[in-house]
């Protein structure tokens, strides 16, 4: 089955390869194969496939990855736009 693709150039994923310690954790936890290992460092293979779940950032011991992680559900975003604290789903 072909991979689904969402909008281009919307994600906030940032990766600083300088800081990478080569633990491979980001390549393990990412459900969309956004990272790949090359020469003992991770590199960004498919940034647009990122769904901003934040698993890579959470599991990067070097703090080399940042992303505004969240669930991206309609109700949560409406709450956010209205400025109220509310559950997402």
- C-alpha distances out from residue 69 to 14, 32, 41, 54, 73, Å: 12, 15, 23, 5, 12
Instruction: Tell me: does residue 61 bind another protein (CB under 8 A).
Output: yes
Instruction: Tell me: does residue 75 bind another protein (CB under 8 A).
Output: yes
Instruction: Tell me: does residue 84 bind another protein (CB under 8 A).
Output: no
Instruction: Tell me: does residue 37 bind another protein (CB under 8 A).
Output: no
Of 44 and 49, nearer to another protein (C-beta) is: 49
CB atoms within 10 A of CB 55: 18
Instruction: Tell me: does residue 18 bind another protein (CB under 8 A).
Output: no
């Amino acid at each position: 089955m072909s991979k689904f693709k969402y909008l281009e150039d919307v994600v906030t994923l940032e990766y600083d390869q300088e800081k990478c310690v080569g633990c491979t954790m980001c390549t393990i936890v990412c459900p969309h194969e956004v990272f790949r290992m090359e020469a003992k460092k991770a590199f960004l293979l498919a940034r647009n496939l990122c769904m901003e779940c934040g698993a890579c950032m959470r599991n990067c011991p070097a703090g080399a990855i940042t992303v505004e992680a969240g669930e991206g559900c309609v109700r949560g975003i409406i709450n956010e736009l209205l400025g109220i604290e509310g559950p997402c789903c």
